[in-house]
Structure 1
Amino acid sequence: MKRTPMAPGKGFKRPDAAELRKKQAEARLKVPVLRPKACKACGDRFTPARKGQAACGIECALQVVADAKAKKERIATRAAKAAARPRSWWLAKAQEDFNAYIRARDADRPCISCLRHHDGSYDAGHYLTTGARPELRFTETNVHKQCVPCNRHLHGNPVLYRAELVRRVGLPEVERLEGPHAPLKLTIPDLQALRDHYRAELRELKARIE
């Protein structure tokens, strides 16, 4: 059976093709309203003429391009220097940030050996030293705030250190530290990750204290 096409509903008006094309062209030509913003070069506020415009004029635009190029060169230079630095440099930097974290962690505690609070300087003292047990260099339970006289002049004051360490972390942990351990083989990326980790830990610790 032949079907009769459905007639348009009441009030329906087929759009004129020419009128439709005109409206589409007008929509494409319509300029969006952009909000004023600060120029990246001079800081003055201006109304951009197009999206993504970062500078208020030609001179500032040239300055923005020059600044971006200089920033890119600085990043490349830092990357080249980092790649050229030996493992010993990264080890020292990781140790520096680790030690700073330990001193901040134990800021309210006395020296782990002599149990004194005083106005002198403090180190991050290793119970088992980095020379004797390098694999425990970054083990937090092996490192505590220690005054300079105990750490440097008394060679770590190990007898009193151990007595207080047992009280703080427990005898099983001390015996675990004193037991055998696999060698610690840290690559440059490992040391970079350790440095970043303890920098973040130190920032978080200081934020909690403040």
Structure 2
Amino acid sequence: MAKLPRRKCANKECRQWFHPIREGQIVCSYQCASAVGKEQTRKAREAAQRKAQSLQRAAEKKERATWRQRKAAVKPLKHWIDLTQRAVNDICRETELAEGLGCISCGTKTAFAWHAGHYRTTAAAGHLRFTRFNIHLQCDVCNVYKSGNIEAYRTALVERYGEAAVLALENNNTPHRWTVEELKEIRLAALADLRALKKAGGRMKPELIEILRMRWQRLRIYRRPGSVLVDYRIPAQFCSYLSVHRILLNEHSIPPVCT
């Protein structure tokens, strides 16, 4: 029988060269075999423990997700409406601030706090609570202390969009009952655009603002296309966001949620 080529001992504390006497021999002595066996047993035990811990974490994660779903299922519709309203108000307010616009009612550009004011209130026209044409930037004085300052609000809307558009908004009384799925879709879209706007530092070019508006117009949220825009700069990362994420959608991506 030919002599097997020499090799190094598999024991890390030995690592001596030796000539194996049989195929598959990896150690030079019984002592090294015992040490290697103990090391392999330790590694196998640790791997089994890691696997058990991983399975336990996965089970706990699944259990938490199930619990969250159960809690979400019993939450009233008003809870989801309020969450969505906050997200939509945030993107409406921050977008107009990025455009350099002031209060829709009094025109001021300095306020203690900025609000997203509804022309037709959510109590009177709940089907328009997410309609972007119905939501504009307002200062805290007009929105809170003057109860919306509706007369000046309407005058500004007519100057900005025309009498016909305002009358169409005022005569839109088609009821709509929101569903949890619709609210989730609107909320996620608003939060995605808000993150992109904050990442861009609040500076947007007119064409990019128009892309956002065209997208939200299909959701019946954003202002109608064609409104006057102010030229703002925007970093390159927001341009990449527009091209990679869900801004440029095809006509069948997001169905309208309200007619």
Q: Give the TM-score taking structure 1 as reference length.
A: 0.68
Shift of 1:119: 4.3
Supply the RMSD in Å over aligned alpha carbons: 1.9
Correspondence for 1:74: 64
Correspondence for 2:122: 130
CA distance in 1, matches of 2:143, 2:81: 21
Select which of 155, 160, 172 maps to 2:147.
155
The answer to whether structure 1 residue 202 and structure 2 residue 194 are counterparts is: yes
State the identity %.
36
Shift of 1:164: 1.5
Opposite residue 73 of structure 1, the aligned amino acid is: E
Correspondence for 1:22: none
What does the per-residue CA deviation read over 1:121-142, in whole Å, with 9 as the maximum and x for residues that have no partner? Answer: 1111001111222221111011
Contact 1:90 1:191 in 2 (8 A): yes
CA distance in 2, matches of 1:155, 1:169: 22
1:1-210 alignment runs, 5 A limit: 57-107=47-97, 108-208=100-200, 209=202
CA distance in 2, matches of 1:170, 1:198: 27
Is there any run of 5+ residues in structure 2 with no aligned partner, and where? 1-45, 203-234, 236-259
Opposite residue 59 of structure 2, the aligned amino acid is: K
Opposite residue 60 of structure 1, the aligned amino acid is: R
SS at 1:113 equivalent: coil
Shift of 1:204: 2.9
SS at 1:156 equivalent: coil
Shift of 1:115: 0.8
Shift of 1:90: 0.8
Contact 1:113 1:158 in 2 (8 A): yes
SS at 2:107 equivalent: coil
CA distance in 2, matches of 1:77, 1:207: 33
Shift of 1:118: 1.6
Q: How many residues align?
A: 156
CA distance in 2, matches of 1:58, 1:77: 28
CA distance in 2, matches of 1:91, 1:66: 36
CA distance in 1, matches of 2:111, 2:156: 21
Shift of 1:168: 2.4
Opposite residue 89 of structure 1, the aligned amino acid is: H
Opposite residue 207 of structure 1, the aligned amino acid is: K
Shift of 1:188: 2.0
CA distance in 1, matches of 2:198, 2:49: 43
CA distance in 2, matches of 1:80, 1:169: 45
SS at 1:58 equivalent: helix
SS at 1:57 equivalent: helix
CA distance in 1, matches of 2:160, 2:73: 41
Contact 2:93 2:137 in 1 (8 A): yes
